């Protein structure tokens, strides 16, 4: 039969476009097995729990699996890092004095090296083969360090803290005294910072409701105030409010995280950027105020920020500035035609959302995508909820709604006696971990 043409439904262009998005068994064989995986997660139950005395390690703030799924690390309130074998549910080791204050985040650089950050303003590098001592301690932040990312292309470590700074560390040249570093970016009220899977964009969330996106990311170039192009968004303040050298936002764990500038935001709507104001396309900054359901007349705080494993969307946990409501929201990346040849456009469209249990006020709840991006694990009261884009756990690109739709609850799991603060999917096994305010770590896996 005659070729319908590249633009016709079912034509060659549509087929190639589908291949680029990972549609079809030829490109992504895992798509044929997602039904089986959904069935496994549907049968998941609390498998085992490790309840150590809260007198030693306190609340669980973050969980992180090694890339090969062989080790589960736990960041604790009372200076400790715990290591478990997630298959046998056995406790491997406790780093009793990993830091001098709360341990906030853990990030693996590969299967043996990992980094931890703390309210003691430092970052520590560790080697699983020699856990008795740190590889090195990194000094550079002046306030609590809350987030660690790793650029696999340049092998640069990227950290952010409540001093408002994003700092780049050259781990290729680490010594016992630390490693070379530089301040990359500064913003007020910084909460979380993430890199897209291909490390082409940096997303930064703030306690004042802003979401900042740095496009065409170049970590080798430091950004000073006024030295980078800005994609200005509607209903935002001037660039001086975004790049001001004033104090950062308040502490996010253990105390209320909201400290909004009264002049920052009056109405929450999805912003559309205007054209860039000259300069190089690298590290162009876009300022967005993502729409949050029910918050059109009040401010909000973006407390948790995650990215889809294929880079298609961003996942936010938002709370009202009065802490009386919380939502989990999914925003699709919308790449559009440039206004100028050097001016990319990227806005976020709210596709799915769901209201969360309003418990544990003042504490951040860290949620996550499954490794294939089909499900979301979200702290919900004293347990977790598995959420999907539809009842069949389809991929986001296959079930994009015309208007924002509710996330579907696939399963709820409760095994804690306190508020769950963090949850994580295993990258290699059908297993989920969760940690709560009283220090309990729970593992969930299928039972038949």
SS3 162: coil
Residue that finishes a domain, picked among 158, 186, 214: 186
Residue at 230 is within a domain: no
In this structure, what CATH number is given to the domain that contains residue 169?
2.130.10.10
Q: Binning pLDDT at 50, 70 and 90, where does residue 11 land?
A: low
Residue at 100 is within a domain: yes
Residue that finishes a domain, picked among 186, 221, 242: 186
Q: Name which residue leads in pLDDT, 249 or 115.
A: 115
Sheet order of strands, 202-206 included: 190-195, 202-206, 211-215, 284-288, 230-231
Q: Are residues 295 and 415 located together in one domain of the fold?
A: yes
Predicted TM-score of the model (pTM): 0.79
Q: Are residues 67 and 180 located together in one domain of the fold?
A: yes
Residue whose tokens read 């799924």? 69
Residue at 90 is within a domain: yes
Q: Are residues 301 and 178 located together in one domain of the fold?
A: no
Residue at 205 is within a domain: no
Answer yes or no: is pLDDT of 115 > 80.
yes
Q: Binning pLDDT at 50, 70 and 90, where does residue 88 land?
A: confident
Task: Kindly report the number of other CB atoms within 10 A of residue 135's CB atom.
Answer: 17
Q: Region 114-135: what's the mean pLDDT? A: 94
Phi, psi of 55 (to 5 degrees): -70, -20
The DSSP result for 78-96, as a single string, is SS-EEEEETTTTEEEEEET
What's the mean per-residue pLDDT of the chain?
A: 78
Structural domains of the chain, count: 2
Residue 102: domain span = 53-186
Q: Are residues 306 and 174 located together in one domain of the fold?
A: no
Q: Are residues 180 and 310 located together in one domain of the fold?
A: no
Residue at 298 is within a domain: yes
Q: Are residues 307 and 162 located together in one domain of the fold?
A: no
**Which of 201, 229, 193, 228 minimizes the C-alpha distance to 217?**
201
Residue at 407 is within a domain: yes
pLDDT at 290: 85
pLDDT at 6: 47
pLDDT at 375: 93
Residue that finishes a domain, picked among 170, 186, 202: 186
Residue at 326 is within a domain: yes
Q: Are residues 294 and 182 located together in one domain of the fold?
A: no
Q: Are residues 63 and 179 located together in one domain of the fold?
A: yes
């Amino acid at each position: 039969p005659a070729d319908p043409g590249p633009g016709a439904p079912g034509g060659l262009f549509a087929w190639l476009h589908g291949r680029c998005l990972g549609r079809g068994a030829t490109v992504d064989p895992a798509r044929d097995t997602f039904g089986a995986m959904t069935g496994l997660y549907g049968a998941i139950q609390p498998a085992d729990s490790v309840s150590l005395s809260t007198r030693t390690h306190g609340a669980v703030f973050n969980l992180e699996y090694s890339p090969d799924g062989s080790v589960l690390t736990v960041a604790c309130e009372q200076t400790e890092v715990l290591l478990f074998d997630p298959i046998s549910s056995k406790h491997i080791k406790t780093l009793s004095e990993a830091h001098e204050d709360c341990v906030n985040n853990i990030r693996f650089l590969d299967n043996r090296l990992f980094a931890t950050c703390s309210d003691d303003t430092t970052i520590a590098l560790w080697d699983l083969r020699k856990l008795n001592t740190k590889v090195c301690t990194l000094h550079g932040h002046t306030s609590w360090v809350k987030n660690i990312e790793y650029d696999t292309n340049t092998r640069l470590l990227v950290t952010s803290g409540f001093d408002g700074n994003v700092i780049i560390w050259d781990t290729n040249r680490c010594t016992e005294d630390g490693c070379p570093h530089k301040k990359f970016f500064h913003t007020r009220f910084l909460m979380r910072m993430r890199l897209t899977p291909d490390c082409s964009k940096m997303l930064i969330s703030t306690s004042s409701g802003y979401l900042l996106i740095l496009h065409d990311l170049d970590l080798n170039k430091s950004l000073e105030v006024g030295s980078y192009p800005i994609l200005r968004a509607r209903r935002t303040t001037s660039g001086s409010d975004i790049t001001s050298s004033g104090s950062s936002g308040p502490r996010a764990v253990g105390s209320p995280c909201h400290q909004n500038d009264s002049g920052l935001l009056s109405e929450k709507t999805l912003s559309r950027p205007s054209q860039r104001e000259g300069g190089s396309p690298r590290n162009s900054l876009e300022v967005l105020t993502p729409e949050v359901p029910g918050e059109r007349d009040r401010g909000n705080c973006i407390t948790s920020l995650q990215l889809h494993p294929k880079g298609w969307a961003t996942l936010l946990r938002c709370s009202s500035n009065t802490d009386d409501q919380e939502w989990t929201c999914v925003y699709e990346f919308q790449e559009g035609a440039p206004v100028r040849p050097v001016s990319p456009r990227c806005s976020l469209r709210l596709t799915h959302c769901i209201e969360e249990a309003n418990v544990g006020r003042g504490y951040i709840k860290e949620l996550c995508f499954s490794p294939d991006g089909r499900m979301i694990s979200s702290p919900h009261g004293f347990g977790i909820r598995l959420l999907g884009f539809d009842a069949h756990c389809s991929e986001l690109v296959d079930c994009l709604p015309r208007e924002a739709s509710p996330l579907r609850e696939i399963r709820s799991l409760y095994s804690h006696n306190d508020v769950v603060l963090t949850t994580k999917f295993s990258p290699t096994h059908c297993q989920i971990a969760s940690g709560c305010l009283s220090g309990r770590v729970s593992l969930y896996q299928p039972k038949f």
